[in-house]
Amino acid sequence: MKTLTAVDARDMAAIHAQSFDRSWDALEMAAHTQKDMCFGIDVDGALAAFIIMSRAADQAEVLTIATAVQARRKGLGRALLMEAALELKSRDVTDLFLEVAEDNAAAIALYRTVGFDAIGRRPAYYRRENGRVAALTFSKKL
């Protein structure tokens, strides 16, 4: 796992665009590398997965996580979350939170495999083309 900087912003944006309907561009990614914790994993010399987390005192939140389409189901998402959790713990963060759309089965399965528990539900939180979908809030003690 490597720390991402503004140099990686374009690659982060490209993976994000493959992964979400409402994607964040390279400028936004560059801003995140300045103010948040951004980590990635390379495969064959190119960024293949990344995570962005914000921190406030002893709590942190996953703002986004994505794996490039061709690199999915190879354990990169799990590796990122586990290594990021260790890194946060070493920086005295005690709890990690995230929100995920209730219909995102892949992400929910991933979070459960690395020890996140569902702690809440926000109805109609995300907008979809044909309506709205709830967000589930997950947390993990570090």
Ligand X SMILES: CC(C)(COP(=O)(O)OP(=O)(O)OC[C@H]1O[C@@H](n2cnc3c(N)ncnc32)[C@H](O)[C@@H]1OP(=O)(O)O)[C@@H](O)C(=O)NCCC(=O)NCCS
Give the interface with ligand X as residue ranges (CB under 6 A): 19, 49, 65-67, 72-78, 100, 104-107, 109-110, 113
Q: Which residue, 40 or 93, has its beta carbon nearer to ligand X?
A: 40
What's the Cα-to-Cα distance from 141 to each of 47, 87, 114, 115, 118, rounded to whole Å?
28, 13, 11, 9, 12
Q: Which residue, 75 or 120, has its beta carbon nearer to ligand X?
A: 75
What's the Cα-to-Cα distance from 14 to each of 24, 49, 86, rounded to whole Å?
9, 11, 27
Catalytic residues: 99, 111
Residue 126 phi, psi dihedral angles, 5° rounding: -105, 140
Question: What is the dihedral angle through the alpha carbons of 121, 12, 18, 95, rounded to the nearest 10 degrees?
Answer: -20
Chain-centre distance for alpha carbon 43: 18
Q: Least distance in Å: CB of 47 to ligand X?
A: 13
Helix or strand (DSSP H, E) at 98: strand 95-101
Q: Least distance in Å: CB of 31 to ligand X?
A: 19
Q: Least distance in Å: CB of 100 to ligand X?
A: 4
